[in-house]
Structure 1
Amino acid sequence: MYTRPFKPLLLAAAVVAVNGCSYLTGDDGMFRDRGNDYQDAVEIAAMKMPEQVDKASTQELYVIPPVARANAQADEEITALDFAVPRPLPLGASAFGEHVKIQKLADRRWILAGLPPSEIWPKVRHFLSSNGLRVVYTDAINGIIETGWLQFKESTETKDRYRIQMEQGVQPDSTEIHVLHLSVPAEVKGDGQVNWPKRSINAEREAWLVDELAGNLAAQGDSGGATSLLAQTIGGGAKIAIKDVDREPVLSMALGLTRAWATLGHAVTQQGMVRYDENANTGVYYINFGKVNASEEEQGFFSRMFSFGSDDEEVELPVSEEVAAKSPYTLNEILSNLPLQNPDVANLFPKLEGSDEARKLEDVPGYLLVIAGEDGDLQVHIRDAYGQRLARKEADDLLKHIRRNLI
């Protein structure tokens, strides 16, 4: 009998609630939808700073660089094809067949790991801590870890210390780990900075740590490890890149000449490439590209590896396997008869001198892979067997194929 007086009160409360919601969220409400306000925005002039104020602090933090066509010529016409998104560079099969391996060049040894430095860094730290090797100095930006002093049981009169340097590898998402060993008399005190030698004092003790570290990294594998944000910049930029120099694609290598010569020598014998001859004095490999002899099941894989065209255009390698197996000319014959009267050829072969007896050789197969530049800043050109430039796309595609096989 008390319900009837409450009905007017409930109705009044409902009306107030509806009006209240409109007041809060309607077009003129306090919490209205502002999602389309940008359509009515008015452009205003940029803020001007007084002359005495440092303008560097007000500039954009993430500046968008100008878009440059890496292989463009000044007189080329830009077409819609120029704006096609390039396919990602495939990983080098030869470098990543195994997760971790030890590389050797002359008396140098280092570890090559198929993971980026940001993932290798915490794995190396874990190896050191789990084996009781005390760390006294780290530099994640430059990829350096230095251990404290340790003493081998068989050598009590000396004590030893290690420096581990991690760098970007020649392939994407790979890491090179270099180990340096130092030994001093046992009475030397302190863990401070030391004068590290260019080469390890004891090659056997360097090899010991290289072997132990490589085995540990291989056992850890690439499953679900930690990543160091600080170590993401280890080694700076890429060691290998394809750049445009004087309107010609070249393979830029931030390596020493000995290392570059060795890794190119390996690359030009892989995946259908044939090395006819070489001349270290002039920095030239005489090479060719042949078809791979594969079963029908494997041909699909190789056709993808050797696809130099667009997605809907498969381009075969230049010559057959039979032709690629040999050349009628030696490299010395080719170099002795290059058209050095052409400045573009002469500039690439500064050590060669023209001869009155030079002649034009007929139907010379293959390509000349030429290394120029200085240690740490090398450029690799690929030319036809007469030293002449290739078509831009052909040179670019062949250099990419060589790059995939560097180690």
Structure 2
Amino acid sequence: MLPDDKIDYGTASRKVQPLDVPPDLTQLARDNRYAPQAGTVSASALGSVKPAAATGAAATPTVAINQVGDTHLARMGQQQWLVSPRSPEEVWPLVRQFFLDRNFKFQKEDAASGVLETDWIENRANLPKDLIRSTIGQVLDAFYDSGLRDRFTIRVLRGADGKGSEIYVAHHGLEEVYINRDGNTTWTNRPADPALETELLTRLMQALSPTTVAAAPAGAASDAAASAPPVVQVAGKARVLSGQAGATLEVDDGLERTWRRVGLALDRTGFTVEERDRALATYAVRYVDPKVAAQDSPNFISKLFGAKDPAELALGRYRIVLKAAGNGTQITVQKPNGDPDNSESAQRIAQQLVDELKY
């Protein structure tokens, strides 16, 4: 069983003033369906619970599992994903139900491209779990806010060899911060949380093989872990190439694998992916350079978010183009019209991709 210290998406229903959000992020909303399913247990009832009688040696819990049933965890650097021999058509409804069962709603469901994107939801894992809060329960919960919001992009893709499925989960985070001494707040991006992604992937891996987990006798999990294939560690490396017409990087991995990893990297680093074309190996993305935003007026973000001028809305659009280069892959950053882009922002995009793909 996994600990719950990183994930707690139960919330109490409250009325709050809407807050400003960064560009490319939808307005946050509260929903009563996120109310926790509360219950009470008396001290006498707790005392009446007797531990199960030990039969033989105590079973040692499996730690950091990397396979459950026919699904296993693959890893490259900080990026992780699940690999299943089942088809995307079989996996898709199971993945979808996994998130619905955990009180998520979807703001995007595209089975054709294998993309699920959740709404923003409050993560209450960091709220204090003291005696007073535990006693008063939901009544006191109405006065607490963690100041954290999470959203996840889930991709269910067909395996690189055309068989099986690969499942990717990318975390996006927001944090409420004070902007002046009057107590006014706004929402700002916080970095993707790899530990949270790993925890969700591990729970999802267990959910994809419920019969295996339920039917396994004591000690079977340890035996399965011992016989499981090792976590995939692919020695992919990436670097920025200088002297090119546009911002360019090179990855020591094949086009098919790099295409998938770039998609996950874009999801994890806060880009808005507007279009994906696997046949042309291109991503159309929107990106707001934080350095440029900081140089503008304090209201830059709110002005951009509420902009009506099409020219303003076009700010920060790029094409990420991949092509095979020998045994590796070359990636270039282009302007929306396909011209090479060697601007400072384009170079920053290339460096961000290198940071995600260099391991």
Does the pair score TM above 0.5? no
**Structure having greater relative contact order (Cα 8 Å, sep ≥ 6):** 2
Larger Rg: 1
TM-score (norm 2): 0.33
TM-score (norm 1): 0.29
More strand by share: 2
